[in-house]
Chains A and B, each alone.
Chain A
Amino acid sequence: MKSGLRSALKRNPRVVFGSAVLLAMVALAVLAHWLAPHDPLEQDLINTLLPPAWLGGERGFLLGTDSLGRDILSRLIYGARVALTVAVVAALLAGLLGSVLGLLAGYFGGWADMLISRVVDIWMSFPAVLLSIVLAAVLGAGLHTVVIAIVVIDWTRFCRVVRSEVLVQREQDYVASAVTIGLSPAKILFGEVLPNVVPLLLTLFTLEMGIAIVVEAILSFVGLSVASGMATWGGMIAEGRQYVNQAWWLMVLPMLCVIVAVVGMNALGDGLRDVLDPVKAR
């Protein structure tokens, strides 16, 4: 087992690092209630803006406190829950919508392809950041808004990639054979072509999780994500920015969380791409 892990690390350190980050996030999100030393909303107005313990703060508040005396560590842990929820749900839904449309466009071609590709083109000429902010304003602040914004914007990523992959797969012999033995288009598409696109989807899904974490951070930074009391990394960055002259760690700690999460997801996605690509894996 040990040598297995070591060889896996040697072969693809990115997958190992990315999975470690993902597992850590899952653990934090699921066990937040037990791991967090304090209630993330509990205010302690005597101990406000405490620095982290090793910079002269209190030992009870390992990473210090914010302007209302709330424990930073606990808020970061609960923030992981929000980030992970958004990442998983949004990436799943965007992947579902995008890949179904991509499969249809790529397999059937003709007017279906024309229509879907044109919509994708138009969609991609929106500035994504602006669109997500507008959507958030239209739908009102909240977690569902963040998820909808990500799905509405990023389904095109899946659609484009899946479409072009299906265009390649469609020309393969196995599809011709399936047509010859009289399988229905739906059976060929979802039973034969789809499994061959799954490795690609897995990679895209992981990368999309990274994107979703950033979008959530951006929207909560601008104040358009969840209600202000709840802890989100982006919201904490925005709060920290106001105290950047007195307490730099307030802004830096949640930024580090976002960076580690995004780098982890990207590493996992890129690593999976190499591992799952049969040509490169050899």
Chain B
Amino acid sequence: MSGSYLLKRLLWALPTLFGVAVVVFVLLRVVPGDPIAMMTPPGARAEDIARLRHLYGLDTSIGRQFVTWLAQVARGDFGNSISLREHVATLVLGKLPATLELVLFAMLMACSLGVGLGLAAVYFRGRWPELAIDGFTGLSLAIPDFLWALLFVLLLGVMFPVLPISGRLDPGIAFEPRTGFYLLESLMAAKFATAGVLLQHLALPGGALALPLAASITRILKSSLLEVMNQDYVTLARVKGYSRARVLLRVALRNALIPALTLTGVQFTFLVGGTVLIEYIFAYPGIGNLAIGAVIQRDLPLIQGLILTFAVLFIFTNLIVDMSYALLNPKLRKA
């Protein structure tokens, strides 16, 4: 893939990001609740309130506040969280790795489950496994991810308690991570017992996030595989004596993946957005959980920082999806 294509895509992301920044800023300036009033005790003196207002820059004009804010953001300074009294950047960066691990785990799960089931449905076409897979995808798509999460909590956490339903790591485990990427770090340090515990905690939230995406991958891959299986080159491969499984894996899958990826691309970003509620339900210490707390506390700087972080995550997800089209489809590489 050419570097200029990548550069062009990255440049396109800038106006979007700027638009997001404007909207976020405007949106949060019309909040009726006064954050300063919320953080001061009822009997606070007027000059103290004014001093705080000045401290957080809330006493200048909106345009000026925006310019100041944007300049700070460009330097990576998102200001101080009002409710947690810490740098927004520190807070967000501290929780981001947890969310990234969850998102990547869920995407991996969705892709492997989706591709596996899509292949199986075509391989077993007309027999009971196909029906079972169709039923499964229908059900997974019909039920929104937060209800899956609650169903998992009920079935696998409460009725048959096989998997943990809260947090990221058991409190009793001796593990002193240097970075926020617990899973990666424990794997690199060959602490497989710890990695196992981390994976157990990821299983249910990751599964709830992955199911709807996996189902739509399955469904779309199945229909594009069926289409490809009717092509002449597939017939030719069959005539040459390749087994059905081999044709499916070597010839059909490669050609069917492109439309499947194109059609499911947007849904990868849904998965990123889905983390907000899923982290809340599973008390998973990532930025989604942080976001709900920030909203309930009406913590403007933190909300702004988080939304921008999510927007960047969205844009990156889209970029990666677009780049993988280019990798899979030779026709697009030159464009």
Contact = CB atoms under 8 A, between A and B. Distances in A.
Interface of A: 118-119, 121-122, 125-131, 133-140, 214, 218, 221-224, 237, 241, 244-245, 248, 251-252, 255, 258-259, 262-263, 266
B144 A214 contact: yes
Contacts of A126: 20, 23, 307, 310-311, 314
A218 B20 contact: no
Given A255-B151, A262-B144, 12 more contacts: A125-B269, A127-B314, A131-B307, A133-B292, A134-B295, A135-B27, A137-B298, A140-B33, A241-B153, A244-B158, A251-B150, A266-B142
Contacts of B153: 241, 244
Contacts of B274: 129
A251 B273 contact: no
A224 B298 CA distance: 13
Given A133-B291, A133-B295, A134-B307, A245 B142 contact: no
B217 interface: no
29 contacts: A118-B15, A118-B19, A119-B19, A121-B16, A122-B19, A125-B20, A125-B318, A126-B23, A127-B273, A127-B307, A127-B310, A127-B311, A129-B274, A129-B277, A130-B276, A130-B310, A134-B307, A135-B27, A140-B33, A218-B146, A222-B277, A223-B296, A237-B150, A244-B153, A248-B159, A258-B147, A259-B143, A259-B147, A262-B143
A122 B20 contact: yes
B150 A130 contact: no
B306 interface: yes
A245 B159 CA distance: 8
A263 B143 CA distance: 8
Contacts of B126: none
B315 interface: yes
A252 B307 contact: no
A129 B273 contact: yes
Interface string B273-306: 1101100100000001001100110100001001
A165 B33 CA distance: 42
Name the residue in B27, B154, B311, B318 with the highest tally of chain A Cβ atoms < 10 Å from its Cβ. Answer: B154
A131 B310 CA distance: 10
Given A122-B20, A125-B315, A244-B154, A221 B146 contact: yes
Q: What interface size band does chain B fall in?
A: 35 or more
Name the residue in B142, B151, B291, B315 with the highest tally of chain A Cβ atoms < 10 Å from its Cβ. Answer: B142
A17 to B, nearest CB: 12
Contacts of B306: 130
A260 to B, nearest CB: 10
Given A121-B16, A133-B295, A127 B154 contact: no
B31 interface: yes
B74 interface: no
Nearest to B23: A122
Contacts of A139: 32
Name the residue in A118, A129, A131, A133 with the highest tally of chain B Cβ atoms < 10 Å from its Cβ. Answer: A129
